[in-house]
Amino acid sequence: MCLGNSTRVSQGGSIAVLRPTRHLEQADTNAHMLLLFSNRTEALIGCAGIQVEFQGWEGKSSVRRDRCWVVIHHDGDLSASEALPPNALPQKPLFSFSLDAASTQTMQLPQRLELGVGDAGLIGRRVSLMTSSRQGPVTLAEGIMGWN
C-alpha cells in the first residue's frame, strides 16, 4: 500500500472504497462508492463531530438512501461477512450511523472518531453499507478503511 510513487496528493482524513455486493442491483458492476471521513471542523464553528462525505450513490435508485446505514466493524477481514449466515446481524460494531435522506453528499456526525491506526482507530477496519429487507439486514457494499 505504501510502496511506489503516486502523483495523487493526500486529501487528509480517511477513505473507504465500497465495492458492491451481489445484493446491489446496478448496471455497472465495477462502480464503487466512497466514504470520506474528516475531523476538519474549523469551518464548522462549535461543532466537534466528524464530517462524512458519501460519493457514488447516484444511479442506485433501487435502494432508498434513508433506509441504509454504515457499519464500521472491529475487524478488517472482507471474508468475515461471507462467513455469516444469510441475513445475520453483524457482531456489535465499532461504530455505525444512518445515512440521512438529504440529497447532500456531506453529513456531520455528532462525535469525533479516531482516523488513525490503533485500538480506537478506523484505518484497516471493514466498512459495510447495509439496508434492511424482509429477511433481515443485507450488505449492499463493503470495503476497508484507509488513508485518504
Q: DSSP labels for 103-116?
A: S-SEEEESS--B-S
List pLDDT tens digits, range 82-105. 656 655 666 788 999 998 766 568
143 against 50, higher pLDDT: 143
Query: For residue 144, what are the contacts with CB-CB under 8 A and spacing of at least 6?
Result: 16, 17, 76, 78, 124, 125, 126, 127
List pLDDT tens digits, range 28-68. 556 789 999 998 655 555 566 788 998 887 765 567 777 88
In the chain, domain spans: 14-147
What confidence category does residue 115 fall into, taking pLDDT thresholds of 50, 70 and 90? confident
Closest by CA position to 97, among listed 143, 140, 66: 66
**What CATH number labels 14-147?**
2.60.40
Mean pLDDT to the nearest integer, 1-14:
61
